[in-house]
Amino acid sequence: MLDIKLIREEPEKVKEALQKRGADVGLEEILSLDQARRELLSAIEAKRAERNSASEGVGKLMREAGQAKKEGRSSAELEVEVGKLKERSSGLGKEIAELDNQLRPIEDSLRELLLLVPNIPHETVPVGLDASKNEIIRRVGDPREFGFEPKAHWDIGEDLNIIDFKRAAKIAGARFALYLGAGAQLERALINFMLDIQSREHGYTEVFPPVLVNKESMTATGQLPKFAEDLFKCADDDLWLIPTAEVPVTNIHREDVFPVGKLPVKYTAYTPCFRREAGAHGRETRGLIRQHQFNKVELVKFVEPETSYAELESLTADAESILQKLELPYRVISLCGGDLGFSAAKTYDIEVWLPSYNEYKEISSCSNFEDFQARRANIRYRPMEGKPLFVHTLNGSGLAIGRTVAAILENYQQEDGSVVVPKVLKTYLQMDTISV
């Protein structure tokens, strides 16, 4: 959520910034609602002040009247005054209620509209409206030269009998995977490996959160209200399946104020993730790339605003380190304005080389949300002096597990159909190669 003050004071600047991401947001309605809200509020508050003082007067006079009676004096005059004040106060109460009834729908629609406004891109975000304008930041490692025709990971998986898409479809439907034997073990090994690196070497605190969350949590991180159709929802409860651990982990600190000196706070979490993939029909239907359920190790940071862009660089480096250790070739790109997610101010995607696609494929997305989520979730910190301020939140995949499995199978495949296990995983898997 953007700061209403920013919209109020510099609407042109906000509009311009949002155009950078191709979002045509009608700020006019927001501005006029904001104006109406403040006018009503002033009127209501003036009347409340008046009513409060009248009510206070009632209390005072009643005490005086009680005192008078005790002393045997007449309290009749005072009681008349009390009656007048009560009447006045009561009348004001009705006026206030009336104005309140006008105010409420205005505040509701104002908030509704504000929740639909995306974040403002950072100044370093490349200009452009689609993926073709994304900027390549760096490449690490070279795609391997195969001396044979490399297979796609879904064929490798089925040939080695470690991934079964047909049975997964029978159990649940399209876009699900059933891992078997070494495949299931590889998935589990990667989860452990990534959590170990991020928690032991990079200082993230490991957490394991709920994977069903309520509406408030989904709203805080920006999935709701706008993207409900991308989510799985429980029919009889206000519970939603998380599309990423970002949701429950960021919400750990919803409504919190971090004490002085506590930041940065860093978490890593493994969770399954659930996405409806509405609108993705026919795209990447084969293999592990686009699933309704997939595993992911996530990195989440809460930081002070001044440091957030440096923290984005280090968070991205933390995610990259996994690919380096796995010796998988990848590149890092900076998303242009039009390709940016709703809540993000800046995003680096990390893309791993996939021989079957003959291109780099997203395996991690690392973003700085600045105070966009913090404002929605009311997450603040206490600076050395002054009032609490909103933190900046960041997160990134470190990494998506299924896509990592796909990358390992494809990049480490041998001509005989077996797959060599990456060096760093050998102790986790207790095997050197996966073969039939």
Partner RNA sequence: GGAGAGGUGGCCGAGUUGGUUGAAGGCGCUCGCCUGCUAAGCGAGUAAGGGGGUUAAGCCUCCUUCGAGGGUUCGAAUCCCUCCUUCUCCGCCA
Contacts with RNA by CB under 7 A lie at 4-5, 38, 41-42, 44-46, 48-49, 51-56, 58-59, 62, 85-86, 89-90, 93, 257, 259, 380, 387-388
Name the minimum Å distance from CB 8 to RNA: 8
Non-local (6+) Cβ contacts of 374 within 8 A are 380, 390, 391, 392, 393
Residues with catalytic function: 275, 290, 362, 365, 403
Name the minimum Å distance from CB 52 to RNA: 4
Non-local (6+) Cβ contacts of 282 within 8 A are none
Q: Count Cβ atoms below 10 Å from residue 280 Cβ, excluding itself.
A: 13
Non-local (6+) Cβ contacts of 392 within 8 A are 302, 303, 304, 305, 307, 308, 311, 368, 369, 370, 371, 374
Taking the least distance from each CB to RNA, the nearer of 70 and 166 is 70
What span, in angstroms and rounded, lies between the C-alpha atoms of 432 and 147? Answer: 21
Name the minimum Å distance from CB 74 to RNA: 19
The answer to whether 225 touches 117, Cβ cutoff 8 Å, is no
Non-local (6+) Cβ contacts of 101 within 8 A are none
Name the minimum Å distance from CB 106 to RNA: 13
Q: Please report which helix (H) or strand (E) contains residue 273, including its range.
A: strand 265-274
Name the minimum Å distance from CB 315 to RNA: 27
What span, in angstroms and rounded, lies between the C-alpha atoms of 141 and 236? Answer: 49
Compute CA 297 distance to the chain's CA centroid, rounded to the nearest angstrom.
15
Taking the least distance from each CB to RNA, the nearer of 39 and 196 is 39
Nearest to 301 by CA among 191, 396, 194: 396
What span, in angstroms and rounded, lies between the C-alpha atoms of 357 and 206? Answer: 34
Taking the least distance from each CB to RNA, the nearer of 46 and 278 is 46
Q: Please report which helix (H) or strand (E) contains residue 182, including its range.
A: helix 182-196
The answer to whether 182 touches 434, Cβ cutoff 8 Å, is yes
Phi, psi angles (nearest 5°) of residue 224: -110, 155
What span, in angstroms and rounded, lies between the C-alpha atoms of 122 and 100? Answer: 38
The answer to whether 231 touches 294, Cβ cutoff 8 Å, is no
Compute CA 298 distance to the chain's CA centroid, rounded to the nearest angstrom.
11
The answer to whether 271 touches 398, Cβ cutoff 8 Å, is no
Could you tell me the maximum CA-CA distance found in the chain, to the nearest angstrom? 113
Taking the least distance from each CB to RNA, the nearer of 98 and 130 is 98
Taking the least distance from each CB to RNA, the nearer of 90 and 427 is 90
